[in-house]
Each structure stands twice: as C-alpha cells, then as structure tokens.
A and B are shown apart, each in its own frame.
Chain A
Amino acid sequence: MSAHYTVSATPDAREAGAVTQTVASLPATFGPAPAGHPGTADVLVIAGGPGWTAEACSAVSAGARGIVVANPVPEDTTELAAAADAAGTAVVLDLRWASNPALVGETPDAREAVRSALGTASLLDSVATAGPGTDPRRLLGEHLAALLAVTGALDGVGVLRSDATGYTVSGRLANGAPFTAQGVLTAARRSGVDIRLYTADGGVAIQVPDPDAAWPAEVRVTGTHGELFLPTLYESAHRSAWRRLKDHLSAGTRPDDLAGFARLTDLYATLAAT
C-alpha cells in the first residue's frame, strides 16, 4: 500500500489551485489534514501571489514534505530552491497553462512536437485569452510560462504594447525566426492559450484551456504525413501538478519546477526593466 499524505491549504490557495476537488481526485494518496492541525500537514498549498517564495521557505522550515504553489507569479526562487534541496522538500508549481499534461509530461507531448520542429521554424504566433479586468502583466507571465515550457528558450523579448485590452510581445526563437505573443482580454471567448508554430512544411498547433475543468488541450502536428492529433488527456493542469507531486513523494525525488521557473523569472525581469 502506498503512503498517504495529508494536505493543508489557505483559503486563497484552495481557491486558486482548486485544491479540494483536485485532491479528491487522488484519494489514495492525498487527503485533508485533520481539522485544527493544519500546520502538521505533509503537503502545504500556497497561493502564488507576490511573496509566495518567502511563504514557501517558511513551509520548508516548518517541515513540509511537499509544497504546491498555485499559479505563482515570477519571483526569485534561488533561496527557496536551496532551502528545499537542503530539507528534501518537493516543491511543485501548479501553473495555469504550463502545467497542462499535454504540454509537458506525457509522451508524445507538445514540447517534443515543438522542439523537433524548431529547426525549420519560420514563425511562432501565440494568443492568450482571459477575461476583461485581468492584470495584463500577470497574464503575460502565465503566457510566457506556457511558451517556455514548449520552446525552452525565447530571445530578444520585448513588450510592444500593454494596456487594458491586452498586450503584444515579440522576440526570436533559437533559429532566429520571429515570435509574437498577444494577450487579448475579452469575455467573448473561453480563456486559454493558443500556440502556432509554422515550419517549412507545416507546423504545430496547440490549444490549452484553463484548468478549471478537465477539458483537454489539443495538439496537432502538421507535415507531409498529413496531420497528427496527439492523444487527448482529460486531466486539468491542477491534477497533473498534484500527480507529479505524488510521483516525487513516492520515489523520494525532487522536481525541477523551480529551476525551470527561474527562466521565466529571468525573462520577466528583463521585460520589467524595459
């Protein structure tokens, strides 16, 4: 029989990470901490607003075996990574779109499709959609996290515009081809991110929905063979993050989420400076 881990979340974290329903979908592994003893839970869930890294460091110090950060904003994770390594704490980031299992994790995934096509890329064009009133800078962070998850790197990134209706960002892929990322704030469409990579003879088209339901991302690879529709995964980004935490806790390994997130933080810092 596998180990069972207790979970505690602040109200903000519970809402941001849809923790109750997600934990309920992994009932053999996770369950709520006994009422009145939240501080002794095996896994602590933290909302990813400003200051989340300090809160996570405190959780590491308090002896948490696992930490889930719900939708973190870009922050310097150096100190947290060192503390988690020293304590053997598994820190998993539950990212709005980048944690979708169709992007990274299952095989074949969108990352594999994109990276094998990057050599002949001519343009990457991406649009993130969210409701009016969304903070464009926060949306941009979530958008860039999804792009970095599949491309691995983005160069020369600059913000062309950012206002109450969204933003436009441009830069280059590793082979020098241009990329654009546009944020559009509207209640007319379902929130999500659309990523289109165009290559010499086709490309990759990715549509990632919000994690508030288990509707699957769609990944299509077009080439001389025709079009390959990758297997759909009816699992939300939230559950995918928690399943990874389960795997790491079971195996005694530590995820590389913080190292990957540092790339986003570095990129975001350069944008903030422009």
Chain B
Amino acid sequence: MSHHTAPADRPLGVGILGAGPVTQAIHLPALARLRDILEVRHIMDVDPAVASSVAARVGATSSTSMDALLGDHDVDIVAICSPHQFHADQVIAACRAGKKAVLCEKPFAMNAGEATRISAVSTETGVPIVVGAMHTFDPGWLAAEQNWGDLPEQVHTIRSSIVLPPNARFEDFATEIVTRPATGRPDYSDIDVIKAALQGGIMGLAIHDLPLVRRFTPDFADIEVLQVSHIRPFGYSVSLRTPTRVIELRAVMNGTWKPEWTFEAIADDSALRIDFTPSYVQAGSAVATFTCGNGSETTIFGPYGHNGYEGEWRELAELARGTRQAPSAQTLIDDLTFALAIADATVASAAAGHPDAAEKAGVSA
C-alpha cells in the first residue's frame, strides 16, 4: 500500500473505472464544475476506444485495466462506475491500493456478504467509501435533514415517485455521448424478463431514494410487500409496509419530456416533500417543502446552486483531504440490505405464480 500526499494547493486526482454514459454525462460534467479541487487524471474502460476518447476530453491518461488505474500515483480518489457485478471487488482493490477515498456507484455490493467484506477492508485500510446515492448529498435533502426535528419518528406514510423520460434525453443535454449501449425491446411475455426488469427497477432506480425512505423507517428490517406491478415500458408500482410505516414506490419511464422526482414523508401534523432535479443535467438542488396546518403553513428550503452529484464529489474531496469524517459503514450496509430485501421481495411477489400477480405484472392478456 502506498499512501502519498498531494500538496494542499494541488487538485486531488480522480480515476474512474468505467467510462459509460453515467461517467460521461454525470461525473465529468460535475467534476468540470470543481476543477479547483478535483482533476480527472485517469479513465479506464474495457473498450479502449471509449477509454481513450473519454480520457482525451479531460486530458487524462486512459487504460483498459483496473490495475493500471490503481497503480497510477496521480490518482487519489477512485470512482467505480462499472457494471454492478464488479463493484465489490473493485472497491476492495481500490482500498487495498492505498487510495485516499473511493466513490462506488450504487449498489456498492450485490449481497450482504459482499457488503460486510467491503466494510472490513475499509476499516482495515482506513480508506473511506462513499456510495453514490446522490440524493443523500443534495443540499435540498441536507437542509431538510437539518430542519425536520422529530419528523422521522412521527411519519406514518412515505412515498417515492419517479417519472422520467429515457436517459438519453438528459444525457444529450449534459454532454456528447460516446458509444451509447444498445437497448433492445424486452419480451414482457416472459416472466423472467419482468422479474429482471423489476430487479433492475429497484436496484437501479428506486435505490436512489431508498436510503431516504430508510431514514424515516426505524423498523426497516421488518418489511412486507403488499403489491407489485410492473409498469410498461419501464417502471414499477410497489406497496410496502412495516409495523409502523406505509411505503409506496412508483416509477414510470416513458416518452415524456417532463421529469418529476418526488419524495414525501407524511405524519399526522406535518409533512415533508422534496422535489429533486433530474439526473445528468446541472439543474441545481432539490427543493424541500415542509407543510403543516392543513397546508396553510409552508417552509421551503432551496433550490441551492448544485445537485447531489456535485455534493458527493465535494464530500469525497473533504474525505480525501482528511477534513471530514468518513460515513458510517453500518449505514451503507443497512441501506444496501434494505434495498436488497425490497428487490428480492418484489421479484418474489411478481413471480409468486398466482394469477393476480402474473396478470398485474402483464404476463397474461
């Protein structure tokens, strides 16, 4: 392991594993706004043409192997933006390579065993890990957190609703994409395709807000699925409850131009609503609105000038400089196991085989 110290006045070096659309349209534009503190120095992708093309845009070194990036002494912070199944091993390798901080796109592991292994390595090496749950770094969310008092204990109903156009609409507002992955037309007559779509919906989309949901769900380990519907062309409607909370998750990705991304936590006498800006574009922070008195009293926080992606990079820089304390590994593990439990139960419900579940999932005509 080889910790090296960057001069305080020199930007920290960033290396990114995986140069797909998320790297191109989210992380590079966010980092371009932070050039005084962070500098992209190494881009790795298994496709050499993509790696070199994306690296050239930011004047970085390119490679096609993780080892090359982790061996690059100019890289202080490693961002893992590869396919989900590689996350755990790459996080561990980055920690062992002695980097100063690691950002892992969500989910940072695919099961609780991997999560525990990562946590142990992080503790052993002292390398802080940040999971890219960008909404938890959004200034609108953070302002809500500072002002919600005892709302998390009082809430009885939680809703996450995500309505988005296809990613390409906002990717194209953010950058000029190199080599967009091909998308097929799913065969929704196949229950396995629906199960995969629901799994992807929870672990790829709902997971953005599940850490927020969990903050308002003290009994999150005791979750029950009430209903699951697959939404075409892509989305889900999932009703959950714990002994003390009702949780409704909705997502629709259709051909609309109008994004709406809301999180709501509702108690008897007060409620919080957060309206998030769409991913990819630098459209500022979420707006958090507290209401009480039958809607007659409203307190609003935001919008602020940057979004959660930029927020997570700012935090990574502070972690790497040692000016901020690392997030709790247990929080990351709990967030992951909560998401996995919901994903597993959602898929099991859709696959339960009873006619109602199958019909709602769009299996039978």
Residue B291 lies at the interface, judged by CB distance under 8 Å to chain A = yes
Residues in B neighbouring A178, C-beta threshold 8 A: 229, 231, 237, 360
For the complex, give the distance between the alpha carbons of A131 and B239 in Å.
22
Interface of chain A residues 216 through 241 with chain B (CB within 8 A): 222, 224, 226-227
* A125 touching B250, Cβ below 8 Å: yes
Q: Which of B48-56, B262-270, B308-316 lines the interface with chain A?
A: B262-270
A/B pair count, beta carbons within 8 Å: 121
For residue A194, give the distance in angstroms from its CB to the closest CB of chain B. Answer: 11
Residues of chain B within 8 A (CB-CB) of A156 are 356, 359
Q: Which of B161, B226, B258 contacts A222 (CB 8 A)?
A: B258
Q: Given A187-B293, A187-B294, A189-B291, A180 and B248 touching (CB < 8 A)?
A: yes
Cβ-neighbour of A188 out of B239, B269, B359, B365 (below 8 A): B269
Contact A182 B248 (CB under 8 A): yes
B266 touches A184 (CB 8 A): yes
B27 within 8 Å of A (CB atoms): no
Complex interface residues of chain B between 203 and 262 (CB less than 8 A to chain A): 226-227, 229, 231-233, 235, 237, 239, 241, 246, 248, 250, 252, 254-258
| Number of A residues, CB within 8 Å of B | 37
Residues of chain B with a CB closer than 8 A to A177's CB: 231-232
Contact A168 B294 (CB under 8 A): no
Task: Label chain A's interface by main secondary structure.
Answer: strand
Asked whether A184 and B157 contact (CB < 8 A) given A122-B232, A161-B246, the answer is yes
A132-B268, A176-B362 given as contacts; is B291 within 8 A of A199 (CB)? no
A140-171: CB near B (< 8 Å → 1, else 0) gives: 00000000000000001000110001101010
Instruction: Report Cα–Cα, A76/B101, bound state, in Å.
Output: 68
Asked if B104 is at the interface of the complex by the 8 Å CB criterion, the answer is no
Distance (whole angstroms) from the CB of A209 to the closest CB of chain B: 10
- CB nearest neighbor in B for A191: B294
User: Is B58's CB within 8 Å of the partner chain A?
Assistant: no
With the chains together, A168 CA to B237 CA distance in Å? Answer: 12
**Candidates B235, B237, B246, B296; contact of A165 at CB < 8 Å:** B246
Partner of B254, one of A185, A188, A200: A200
A170 CA to B227 CA in the complex, in Å?
Answer: 8
Chain B residues close to A by CB (< 8 Å): 156-157, 159, 161, 163, 226-227, 229, 231-233, 235, 237, 239, 241, 246, 248, 250, 252, 254-258, 266-271, 291-296, 356, 359-360, 362, 365
Q: Which 3 A-B pairs have the closest CB atoms?
A: A190-B295, A188-B271, A178-B229
Jot down 5 A-B pairs with beta carbons below 8 A, ordered by A: A185-B268, A187-B269, A189-B271, A201-B254, A222-B258
